[in-house]
Amino acid sequence: MTATNEAGSYKLYWMIWGMLLALTVVMLFLDSAPMPRAAFVLVMVGVMLTKAFLIAGYFMHLRYEALFIRLSVFIGLLVNGAILYFLIIPDAYRILGMS
Amino acid sequence: MAEAAQQVMEDRWAGGTCPFDAGWRKVMMWTFIITDGLLFAGFLASYGYARIMSGGWPNQSEVFSIPMIALMTFILISSSATMASAVAAAQSGDRKGVSRFMLLTIVGGAIFLGMQVWEWSHLIHEGARLYANPWGDAAFGAYFFLITGFHGTHVLSGVLIIAIMALRWAKGSATAEGIEMTGLYWHFVDLVWVFVFTCFYLL
């Protein structure tokens, strides 16, 4: 960890822990709240990604790592995830339309 | 712009400088995490495909006990916080703190696994199989056992790795860097659960 002094405090970790728990409670609340499906999915994915960024950024110290590590993770996971999504989802809708 | 990029490339990659500004262990661990993450991304994308294709995907809240899954999530997030604290303790030279926080992480991981075993046995008792289930689309059971099973295996191996590292730390043969690598793996397991919890149990 290159920025131990910045990130290495217990207080920060327990603050992130509190935020993660609060976001989980928000998700559970939304799960039982009446709202349109599209909005529900959008909000849930947003909260999920926020939680992922908190864990990767602070618990895994990605926020403090060199640019090349951050880029490797970003390109490796997010871009490939997007490719998977854009390859699969249109096909799924196409097949659904055929039935 | 192109000249600036060229300059960065020369500065970083011309030799004598590590562009990642990290030891090889950390670079290798991140490489592993990225590739393992892609495996889970493939599983979840495949699950999404199957679900869109399905005409009768079961309503999760009727199959799972969401409060129990939420409790599992709480435990895993808490164990991630204790592991992060163990890493911080290792880097500040707090030997007892490392052992204490790692023990708490092991306990959290073990409780999570116990709850997952309970969930699996409960669903199997109700008729869930890899090839069929009483609630709807047959693929539901297959994806449930595949995704949660694969994640659970990661949790199990994580608990074992942390236990081994805790013993090595107690004997004085583990380094702060080793604890940090262990922590990276454990946080990755937590990170994957964030996606599994949302995509499989809530959406």
Is B120 in the A-facing interface, judged by CB distances under 8 Å? Answer: no
Q: What CATH code is carried by the domain that includes residue B145?
A: 1.20.120.80
Is B91 in the A-facing interface, judged by CB distances under 8 Å? Answer: yes
Is B154 in the A-facing interface, judged by CB distances under 8 Å? Answer: no
CA distance B17 to chain A (A): 12
B13: pLDDT strictly greater than 60: no
A4: pLDDT strictly greater than 50: no
State whether residue B63 is helix, strand or coil. Answer: helix
- Would you mind telling me the total number of residues written for chain A in this entry? 99
On whether ipTM exceeds 0.95, the answer is: no
Q: Closest Cα to residue B201, out of A54, A28, A60?
A: A28
Domain spans, chain A: 1-65, 66-99
pLDDT-wise least confident of B11-15, B135-139, B162-166, B167-171: B11-15
Q: How many domains are contained in chain B?
A: 1
- Would you mind telling me the total number of residues written for chain B in this entry? 203
Q: Which of A32-41, B37-46, B58-67, B110-119 has the highest mean pLDDT?
A: B110-119
- Higher-confidence position of B56 and B155: B155
A96: pLDDT strictly greater than 70: no
| pTM of the predicted structure, to 2 decimals | 0.86
CA distance B5 to chain A (A): 13
CA distance A98 to chain B (A): 11
pLDDT-wise least confident of A33-42, A53-62, B13-22, B154-163: B13-22
- What is the C-alpha to C-alpha distance for residues B152 and B194, in angstroms, rounded to an integer? 13
Instruction: Determine the residue of chain B that is closest to A40 in CA distance.
Output: B203
- Higher-confidence position of B90 and B3: B90
Cβ <8 Å between B42 and A84: yes
User: Around Cβ B115, how many Cβ atoms within 10 Å?
Assistant: 17
Q: For CA atoms B9, B13, B14, B17, give the dihedral sign.
A: positive
**B93: domain range?**
2-56+64-202
Residues A6 and A61 sit within 8 Å (Cβ to Cβ): no
Residues B112 and B159 sit within 8 Å (Cβ to Cβ): no
Chain B residues within an 8 Å CB radius of A81: 41, 45
